[in-house]
Chains A and B, each alone.
Chain A
Amino acid sequence: MKTTVFLGATAAAALCAGVAGAATLDDVQSRGTLNCGVTTGLVGFAAPNASGEWEGFDVALCRAVAAAVLGDPTAVEFVPTTGKTRFTALSSGEIDMLARNTTWTFSRDTDLAFEFTGINYYDGQGFMVPKDLGVTSAKDLDGATICVQTGTTTELNLADFFRKNNISYEPVPIETNAEAQQQYLAGACDGYTTDASGLAATRATFEDPTAHVILPEIISKEPLGPLVRHGDSEWGDVVRWTLNALIAAEEYGVTSANVTDLAGAAGDSPEVNRLLGSEGNLGEMIGLEADWAVNAISAGGNYGEVFAKNIGEETPIGLARGLNAQWTEGGLLYSPPFR
């Protein structure tokens, strides 16, 4: 009897402990690993490779944060989440941060009580259809059947787009990208809609990518970025400035190849020196070592390197920088100053 009561109380206490306290940074440091929520698999952004290691554009950000906080880019526990489970996983404390092509929206930021720590990919929603359908514009899709992942902003934009253009469609709700791909290839839907980057990534895995076209219309703004829980600004700062460090590093020409040299000897650029910790105490201000940014950049390179390696034009996914170029090159990437 006593044992039962004791077990019950322990279980109850464990339940309550599930909702993590505010100091995520301390938790991560004392645990020694970062729990990072990613997709269940979207090649180029986050997917396990042939040897079972996670890699991709979003994964690189997890690794950079782990490197900045723990000094070890491999100290990451990847938690695959679906469109439906991602927010619960984050708010319940199961993961410390979510890097899962998640669109920054008003209600997610406010009502769901999350904090977006920046934008790592400027995206927009597009459509993919088989080439032999002869469709050249999304507005020709009147009466078509469209596969869409449920619980996403994509689903809402899709409804808005067809309502705005006064044309009809038949939605096929689908749980994950892999299922959508299977249904689309089986012809259960005429078109597949998701973020244009996701479409490109999906198409790259097809047997014959040239048989499918991505329609020119981009029907929404999809700023994708990492997010953390509300109410823990210190942890939010760490993730935000790690992302900014990668972006700034590209702007200043700091790469994974030269970062150790630049950090070893203070150069003549004060901002690079502050970023790499050879001048000032920026690391201390966010509760990290002075070489936090050096570790983050060494993990997978600066933003440009990460982009080129995972989703850039040299990869099968083949995305152009477009909006995701540095502000100095006509894009939208702009890191606030390291000062």
Chain B
Amino acid sequence: MASISDSDANQSSSFKLSMLVNDTRYRGLTFQFIALMLIIFLMAWLGMNLVRNLAAAGLDISYGFLDQSAGYDINQALIPYTSQSSHLQAAIVGVLNTLLVALLGCVTATIIGVTAGVLRLSKNWLISRLMSAYVEAFRNVPVLIWILMIGTIVTVSGGNPREFLGEDPNSNLFLGAFAFTNRGLYAPAVELGPGAIFVAIAVVVGIVGFFLWRRHVKKTLFQSGKLLPAWPSWLILIGLPVIAYFAFAGAVSLSMPDTMANRFNIQGGTLVGKPLIALWLALSVYTGAFIAENVRAGILAVSKGQTEAAAALGLRPRRVMNLVVLPQALRVIIPPLISQYLNLTKNSSLAIAVGYADITATLGGITLNQTGRAIECILMLMLFYLIISLSISAIMNVYNSRVALKER
């Protein structure tokens, strides 16, 4: 039936309106067009309703509130922030907090996930069963429950900061510098003096040198077959900053937590807050369980012959995993891994459950509530999460295309 019209070479001159429905070449487009119109109409209708109802309720859409001073304090701000700062600044604090926990979470979840995924395939009965238990327990319980549970565990496992305070404290700081309390981890803060820039440069050079040496080792191996030792890379990574630290004495110093400042809290130093620790741990172990399954699937997807062939060449099991199996498994692992990173980032919006001030808690919580600008705030939130998710997806897809099988 379709072939009759398809064979018509002269169709442009003999186009009839009825062909839009009767001709298979156009029918699909016609219906898609009608569907598109219906969707546009529906959206416009809903939008108009919204505007009309808002007007009827005496409300309008305006972003003027972003300039007004927020009036509330935030317990963790990576940039300077006081209660007099604007709502916009509070939103930025929230954005940075979200990005911080997402970044930390993705890194830790990957480490946990890869380890657990590999170990679940271990021949050791106990280890593989332990990993199965971990994966099944975390995958099958909602993340909010894990966040609440780990939040509670962190709260009750640490002592009260008051135990560390005063002339004669009930417990002493760990190594004289660390205190794990129910409000978070008190640690020494790094203070930068003159010359700190050189130390910073040394750190960067150390990191670059680390990778350069590793690349050099690989290159010599591939070109001449000679295996150079890998340990000098660690020497470069650690040695350079240490030399710089001593060369520029006083450039970098540590300020210790002060237990004598007042009777409530340890002051000074850095406080890695309990909300951050709890949220970070919860998101990491939860997403790690999913990543473990991805890794396991990826490894199982690599033909067993590869392992056997590598073993036959005399490679040790760790090298077989690192040089033969994992690189091939990555092609299977990375696409679902992108989804897990996205999930972790989006799950961080449950932060308020443990009192962490992420973007949902500041802009979508307190600001929304104080100003009553629900639609404006939610639109901004949606835009933010959309941008973040698309960015993560884009970056990871670039990486994916780099490790993908090159077909020539």
**A211 lies within 8 A of chain B by Cβ:** no
A113 touches B38 (CB 8 A): no
B38 touches A12 (CB 8 A): no
Least CB distance, B178 to chain A, in whole angstroms: 19
Chain A residues, Cβ within 8 Å of B262: 142-144
Bound complex: CA of A113 vs CA of B74, how far in Å? Answer: 28
**A190 lies within 8 A of chain B by Cβ:** yes
Bound complex: CA of A8 vs CA of B43, how far in Å? Answer: 11
B75 touches A159 (CB 8 A): no
Bound complex: CA of A2 vs CA of B84, how far in Å? Answer: 56
Given A16-B49, A159-B83, A187-B267 contact (CB < 8 Å): no
A172 touches B182 (CB 8 A): no
1/0 per residue, CB under 8 A from A, across B51-83: the answer is: 001001111000000000001111100000011
**Of B49, B57, B357, which contacts A230 at CB under 8 A?**
B57
**A188 lies within 8 A of chain B by Cβ:** yes
B371 touches A111 (CB 8 A): yes
A150 touches B183 (CB 8 A): no
**Of B84, B265, B274, B357, which contacts A144 at CB under 8 A?**
B265
Chain B residues, Cβ within 8 Å of A230: 57-58
Bound complex: CA of A112 vs CA of B65, how far in Å? Answer: 13
B355 touches A12 (CB 8 A): no
Within 8 A of A (CB), among B170-187: 182-183
Chain B residues, Cβ within 8 Å of A19: 53, 56-57
**A231 lies within 8 A of chain B by Cβ:** yes
Within 8 A of B (CB), among A105-130: 107-108, 111-113
Given A8-B42, A87-B372, A173-B355, A15-B71 contact (CB < 8 Å): no
Chain A residues, Cβ within 8 Å of B274: 188
B366 touches A150 (CB 8 A): yes
**A26 lies within 8 A of chain B by Cβ:** no
**A218 lies within 8 A of chain B by Cβ:** no
Given A112-B372, A113-B57, A155-B366, A15-B355 contact (CB < 8 Å): no
**A141 lies within 8 A of chain B by Cβ:** yes
B46 touches A12 (CB 8 A): yes
In the complex formed, the residue of A with least CB distance to B65 is A111
**Of A91, A134, A231, which contacts B263 at CB under 8 A?**
A134
**B95 lies within 8 A of chain A by Cβ:** no
**B190 lies within 8 A of chain A by Cβ:** no
A187 touches B38 (CB 8 A): no
Q: How many A-B residue pairs have CB under 8 A?
A: 119
Chain B residues, Cβ within 8 Å of A12: 42, 45-46, 49
Given A111-B372, A144-B265, A156-B72 contact (CB < 8 Å): yes
**Of B58, B183, B369, which contacts A188 at CB under 8 A?**
B183
Within 8 A of A (CB), among B260-289: 261-265, 267, 274-275
How many interface residues does A have (CB within 8 Å)? Answer: 49
**A186 lies within 8 A of chain B by Cβ:** yes
Main secondary structure of the interface of A (DSSP, over half): mixed
Within 8 A of A (CB), among B118-157: 155-156
Chain A residues, Cβ within 8 Å of B84: 163
Chain A residues, Cβ within 8 Å of B355: 172-174, 183
**A31 lies within 8 A of chain B by Cβ:** no
A88 touches B374 (CB 8 A): yes
1/0 per residue, CB under 8 A from B, across A272-289: the answer is: 000000000000000000
Bound complex: CA of A151 vs CA of B262, how far in Å? Answer: 29
In the complex formed, the residue of B with least CB distance to A175 is B352
**B365 lies within 8 A of chain A by Cβ:** yes
**A158 lies within 8 A of chain B by Cβ:** yes
Chain A residues, Cβ within 8 Å of B365: 84, 150-151, 173
A186 touches B73 (CB 8 A): no
1/0 per residue, CB under 8 A from B, across A68-93: the answer is: 00000000000000011001100100
**B160 lies within 8 A of chain A by Cβ:** yes
Chain B residues, Cβ within 8 Å of A50: none
Bound complex: CA of A107 vs CA of B372, how far in Å? Answer: 9
Chain B residues, Cβ within 8 Å of A169: 73
In the complex formed, the residue of A with least CB distance to B356 is A173
Least CB distance, A174 to chain B, in whole angstroms: 6
B264 touches A156 (CB 8 A): no
B46 touches A15 (CB 8 A): yes
Bound complex: CA of A152 vs CA of B370, how far in Å? Answer: 7
Least CB distance, A93 to chain B, in whole angstroms: 10
Chain A residues, Cβ within 8 Å of B332: none
Bound complex: CA of A151 vs CA of B357, how far in Å? Answer: 13
Chain A residues, Cβ within 8 Å of B369: 83-84, 87, 150-152
Which of A108, A133, A159 is packed against the most chain B CB atoms within 10 Å?
A159
Chain A residues, Cβ within 8 Å of B371: 107, 111
**B361 lies within 8 A of chain A by Cβ:** yes
B57 touches A229 (CB 8 A): yes
B182 touches A187 (CB 8 A): yes
Bound complex: CA of A91 vs CA of B365, how far in Å? Answer: 17
**A261 lies within 8 A of chain B by Cβ:** no
Chain A residues, Cβ within 8 Å of B45: 12
Bound complex: CA of A134 vs CA of B59, how far in Å? Answer: 48
B265 touches A173 (CB 8 A): no
B49 touches A15 (CB 8 A): yes
1/0 per residue, CB under 8 A from A, across B338-362: the answer is: 0000000000000011010100010
Bound complex: CA of A234 vs CA of B86, how far in Å? Answer: 38
Closest 8 interchain pairs by CB?
A151-B369, A159-B83, A112-B372, A144-B264, A143-B262, A19-B53, A156-B71, A113-B58
* Residues of B near any A CB (own CB < 8 A): 38, 42, 45-46, 49, 53, 56-59, 71-75, 82-84, 155-156, 160, 182-183, 261-265, 267, 274-275, 352-353, 355, 357, 361, 365-366, 368-372, 374
- Could you show 8 A-B contacts with beta carbons less than 8 Å apart? A87-B372, A91-B57, A150-B366, A159-B83, A162-B73, A174-B355, A186-B182, A187-B160
* Residues of A near any B CB (own CB < 8 A): 5, 8, 12, 15-16, 19, 83-84, 87-88, 91, 107-108, 111-113, 133-134, 141-145, 150-152, 155-156, 158-160, 162-163, 169-175, 183, 186-190, 229-231
Having A150-B369, A162-B73, one finds 14 other A-B pairs with CB under 8 Å, namely A12-B49, A16-B53, A108-B372, A113-B58, A134-B263, A143-B261, A144-B262, A145-B264, A150-B366, A159-B73, A163-B82, A163-B83, A173-B75, A231-B57
